[in-house]
Amino acid sequence: MEKIKSVIFDLDGTLLDTIEDIRYALNYALSCYDIEKASRNETRRYVGSGLRLTLARAIAEKSRCPISEEDQELMYRLMIETYRRHPATYTCKYDGIDNLLGFLASSGVKVSILSNKDDDLVVLLAERFFPDFPFSVVRGKRPSSPLKPSTELSTAVMADIGVDAAHTLFVGDSEVDYRTAEAAFARSIIVTYGFRDASDLSRVVEGMMVSSPLELQKALSGLI
């Protein structure tokens, strides 16, 4: 089996626990329309495909009456504006992430971030929490590009990094990340400490799953 030369991380639920800041912004938008607020566990289920779809899933599950497309757009603006003002009030790194990234860097592995969150927010959070780490690529959702698990997106990112699929590993916390790697013909490791329950992931993921950053580091040490 080929050695891994590039690791592409998801951001939310993989490197950073961002759920409470997302939930705060989501609940502000819901409360403006008298819709029941989302719990932490509910928000964990809603995320994974960008903030717009996070809101749409919450509305579909919690609203007692139909919400027009115009109002949904207004709610999204409320949510994203709130999140932009408070992107890191509660957000924190998962224990062991700094050691993991240091281990990869010292091993000569190229490390990148690929997220379905808006590009400027991904860059902001990466710079705030990992100011000195030399990521090869940091990329989020851009207006002209599709979301994960798009093959077009993953192929473009691997080209930017300069490492092909055979030597690339995707790491994330959801079925979206697993399908991203699968579509790109790359390997993956899915973490169960993030925003999806292990029992739900096991119904989709056929490959390796790990329960902590330390376990992830041990798994990676055998691949690089």
Tens digit of each residue's pLDDT (9 = 90 or more) over 87-106: 999 999 999 999 999 999 99
144, pLDDT greater than 90: no
Whole-number pLDDT of residue 120: 95
173, pLDDT greater than 90: yes
Provide the pLDDT confidence category of residue 214 given band limits of 50, 70 and 90.
Answer: very high
pLDDT, averaged across the chain? 96
Whole-number pLDDT of residue 1: 81
The ranges assigned to domains in the chain are: 6-17+91-221, 19-85
193, pLDDT greater than 90: yes
- Matching CATH number, 19-85, of 1.10.150.240, 1.20.1250.20, 1.10.3210.10, 3.40.47.40: 1.10.150.240
For the segment 179-185, the average pLDDT, to the nearest whole number, is 95
Whole-number pLDDT of residue 145: 85
Distances (CA, A) of 167 to 6, 34, 162, 214, 222: 6, 49, 10, 22, 13
Contact 140, 116 (CB under 8 A): yes
Tens digit of each residue's pLDDT (9 = 90 or more) over 35-82: 999 999 999 999 988 899 999 999 999 999 999 999 999 999 999 999
pLDDT exceeding 90 applies to what percent of the chain?
A: 95
**Amino acid, res. 41:** N
Whole-number pLDDT of residue 37: 97
Whole-number pLDDT of residue 48: 87
Whole-number Å distance between alpha carbons of 117 and 105: 24
CATH 1.10.3720.10 fits 6-17+91-221, yes or no: no
184, pLDDT greater than 90: yes
Q: What is the 3-state secondary structure of 45-112?
A: HHCCCCHHHHHHHHHHHHCCCCCCHHHHHHHHHHHHHHHHHCCCCCCEECCCHHHHHHHHHHCCCEEE
